[in-house]
Amino acid sequence: MNKDIATPSRTKEILKKHGFSFKKSLGQNFLTEPNILQKIVTTAGIDAQTNVIEVGPGIGALTEHLARAAHQVLAFEIDDRLISVLADTLSPYENVKVVHQDVLKANLVQEAEYFDQAGPLKVVANLPYYITTPIMMHFLDSELPVDEMVVMMQREVADRISAEPGTKAYGSLTIAVQYYMEATTAFIVPKTVFIPQPNVDSAILRLVRREQPAVTVTNEKEFFRLTKAAFALRRKTLWNNLLHSYGKDEISRAWLEKSLEQAGIDPKRRGETLSLEEFANLSNALEANKPIREE
């Protein structure tokens, strides 16, 4: 087996060889602990049938562990300076393709045609923290049939995604992700295993695709609109948030009142106390009672 890229000494050697300097603006904090990388691969349950997409391979620390375990790995890297580094560090691995592109602009379905055999599809990455949420949503909104995501992010964002109703961390991001995926924090990663060290604590979040969305809604777009509206003004009641987003006129008030009553939800509650089921019931009632307005 090849020598690990991710030991602190080998990482420093590679950085020196290529004259690489970190760009903070690209969220570049590289992992330098092979045990953690192995733990990520184990958490993701990757085997020789698994196809993996990685975001931000850096110098290939995680990519190498993925390549050893998976069928194939497709990795998106935005930084052109890293493309030649990766060609060097990943040269022993024939089952890796590095795509030089901003992952947010990538046509994921088209790029995934690289995989030459069907198998479980997993996203595994140490994400650039400045765009954690957009990347998560890019994958969830795409047509790509991702079975599982095992991703490192700021601990605070992982807490928000895996939060329970009634807690401070619970919000529209929780619902946007948990609608499709079951979310658990797998483990916490100390700052000390990165070069350079980030300012925040990190966590590995594990998301497993549900066979069906967590709740049944008649209009997904309106459901997500409602969940965003409910948390827009954090300290206000649900009623005030709804008036703020849906309108304060007579027709809107009557519509909202009737729908809340039908869904059995007290308008004086705050958005963060509503479960996914309650949001679904309210969204479905709003859809059913939608007023027909004259042009």
Binding interface with ligand SAM (CB under 6 A): 26-31, 55-58, 61-62, 76-79, 82, 102-104, 126, 128, 131
102 is in an annotated binding site: yes
- Smallest gap from residue 123 Cβ to ligand SAM (A): 12
Residue nearest to ligand SAM (CB): 56
126 is in an annotated binding site: yes
CB nearer ligand SAM, residue 76 or residue 139 = 76
CB nearer ligand SAM, residue 122 or residue 270 = 122
- Smallest gap from residue 274 Cβ to ligand SAM (A): 33
- Smallest gap from residue 146 Cβ to ligand SAM (A): 16
182 is in an annotated binding site: no
- Smallest gap from residue 191 Cβ to ligand SAM (A): 12
CB nearer ligand SAM, residue 15 or residue 214 = 15
241 is in an annotated binding site: no
CB nearer ligand SAM, residue 76 or residue 279 = 76
247 is in an annotated binding site: no
Tokens 């765009």 — which residue? 131
29 is in an annotated binding site: yes
d(CA 129, CA 78): 14
Which segments are annotated as binding site for S-adenosyl-L-methionine? Answer: 29, 31, 56, 77, 102, 126
